Amino acid sequence: MIQTEIKNFFYLAGIYIPSGQNFLFILVQIIIFLSIVSILLVTIVLLIRVVDSFDQRRKNDFLSRWEKYFYEYLGSPDNPIRLLESVKKSEYKYLLMVVRDLLSVLSGKDLESLKRIINETPVYDFLIDDLKSKRSKRIIRAAYFFGASGNQNVKSILFGHLYSNKTDVFIFCARAFARINALEYSTAILHAARFQKELSTDILISILLEYKSDVCSYLLERMKFEDDYYKRVAIQIFRFHGFREAADEVLKIFQTSTNKKLLVECIKYAGSIECIDAIPHLWEHFEHPDIEVKTASIEALAKIGGSELVPIFVQRLYEDSYEVNIAAAEALLDLGEKGINLLKVVAKSNSDSKAAAIARMVLSENFIEIDDE
């Protein structure tokens, strides 16, 4: 009976299966195969847990023996080599686990003394061997610690990994360059990123934002020689840092580019620095056929401000695009009392239910009451 039901199911699914003893044989083989796979998966998970548990115990054991001397050393001018005299090379792995836990919580003299453990002891040579290895896990570990410790001596080795076909290796090495503020490698990071198919633009930007603000000047110098992708990413970095010195170059791109994504970034940048010179070009894009461009223009003009914009934003509340309606309502809100009063008028109006609903929503989200009359 069961065999018949199974056969009927596969028949309806359009799958041919053998009949009789052959069917039972194949079915048993499949069950055995799935059982073996399940056992293997459970075994792998258990092994991973055992290894993690072992590492954690070794780390705790190491810290219990070393903790007293370690905390006496932090913040002191003592030579870190003396601190590590009793630490075996086989224990460096656990030493680095402890150091990593502390890198994000220490500051000032304590942090500087922690960095000296990485840069001025045999741990440095240990990490150099990691960085020169072919194993991703070791390269990533070394890149992290050299970046966190601000080591300037490993740049040439890090550069050798920028064009790795492994995205995680690229990310850690690029982030190390940013953390040591190696400006001369910022354009190399952007170029190498093109070969990382699994790398998102957001991650790339997060890496570049770890540079100090002077990276903006370096990126600006290269703008006229680079492609649209480079320009788009660079403009986002300018926007984050409020880098006004890029305004002239960005406006030139704004006036000439036909790349939608690049155009939107130019518009957002103009709004973020409240660029008065961009207003005529933003007006031109008020009637742009693309909703994203039009919406960005409305938002940018709202940030730049000016009460003469109020009637224009009110008109945009009645367009077909929901995104444009929302942007216009929020723009009116940003313009202050006059814009808010007009939003209230629209919210109480029944002439266009969608515009009224959007006005009410934006006002309520900002805890602004609509006066009843």
Average pLDDT, the chain: 86
Q: Is the pTM of this model over 0.95?
A: no
- The lowest-confidence range among 8-12, 271-275, 283-287, 290-294 is 8-12
> For residue 26, what pLDDT band results from cuts at 50, 70 and 90?
confident
The pLDDT of residue 13:
47
Q: Looking at the predicted structure, is the pLDDT value of residue 118 above 70?
A: yes
The pLDDT of residue 174:
97
* Cα–Cα distance for residue pair 265/271, rounded to 1 Å: 10
Mean pLDDT of 179-208: 94
Contact indicator for 195, 217 with CB cutoff of 8 Å: no
- The lowest-confidence range among 49-53, 114-118, 218-222, 293-297 is 49-53
- The lowest-confidence range among 38-52, 98-112, 148-162, 319-333 is 38-52
Mean pLDDT of 353-359: 86
**What are the structure tokens assigned to 16, written together?**
């041919």
* Cα–Cα distance for residue pair 155/147, rounded to 1 Å: 10
> For residue 336, what pLDDT band results from cuts at 50, 70 and 90?
confident
Residue found under tokens 């705790």: 60
> For residue 19, what pLDDT band results from cuts at 50, 70 and 90?
low
Q: What is the pLDDT of residues 212-263, one digit of tens each?
A: 999 999 999 988 889 999 999 999 999 999 999 999 999 999 999 999 999 9
Contact indicator for 366, 340 with CB cutoff of 8 Å: no
Contact indicator for 278, 308 with CB cutoff of 8 Å: no
* Cα–Cα distance for residue pair 125/346, rounded to 1 Å: 69
Beta-carbon contacts of residue 237 (< 8 Å; ≥ 6 apart): 205, 208, 209, 215, 216, 219, 243
* Cα–Cα distance for residue pair 10/33, rounded to 1 Å: 19
> For residue 137, what pLDDT band results from cuts at 50, 70 and 90?
very high
Q: What is the pLDDT of residues 323-332, one digit of tens each?
A: 888 888 888 8
In this structure, the number of other CB atoms found within 10 A of the CB of residue 339 comes to 23
Q: Looking at the predicted structure, is the pLDDT value of residue 18 above 70?
A: no
> For residue 12, what pLDDT band results from cuts at 50, 70 and 90?
very low
Between 219 and 58, the more confident residue is: 219
3-state secondary structure the chain: CHHHHHHHHHHHCCCCCCCHHHHHHHHHHHHHHHHHHHHHHHHHHHHHHHHHHHHHHHHHHHHHHHHHHHHHHCCCCCCHHHHCCCCCHHHHHHHHHHHHHHHCCCCHHHHHHHHHHHHCCHHHHHHHHHHHCCCHHHHHHHHHHHHHCCCCCCHHHHHCCCCCCCHHHHHHHHHHHHHCCCHHHHHHHHHHHCCCCCCCHHHHHHHHCCCCCCHHHHHHHHHHHCCHHHHHHHHHHHHHHCCHHHHHHHHHHHHHCCCHHHHHHHHHHHHHCCCHHHHHHHHHHHHCCCHHHHHHHHHHHHHHCCHHHHHHHHHHCCCCCHHHHHHHHHHHHHCCHHHHHHHHHHHHCCCCHHHHHHHHHHHHHCCCCCCCC
The pLDDT of residue 130:
96
* Cα–Cα distance for residue pair 148/95, rounded to 1 Å: 15
Beta-carbon contacts of residue 9 (< 8 Å; ≥ 6 apart): none
Q: What distance lies between CA 188 and its chain's CA centroid?
A: 19
> Which domains does the chain carry?
213-304 (1.25.10.10), 308-373 (1.25.10)
Exposure of 202 by Cβ count < 10 A (0-12 exposed, 13-18 middle, 19+ buried)? exposed
Between 305 and 88, the more confident residue is: 88
* Cα–Cα distance for residue pair 302/294, rounded to 1 Å: 13
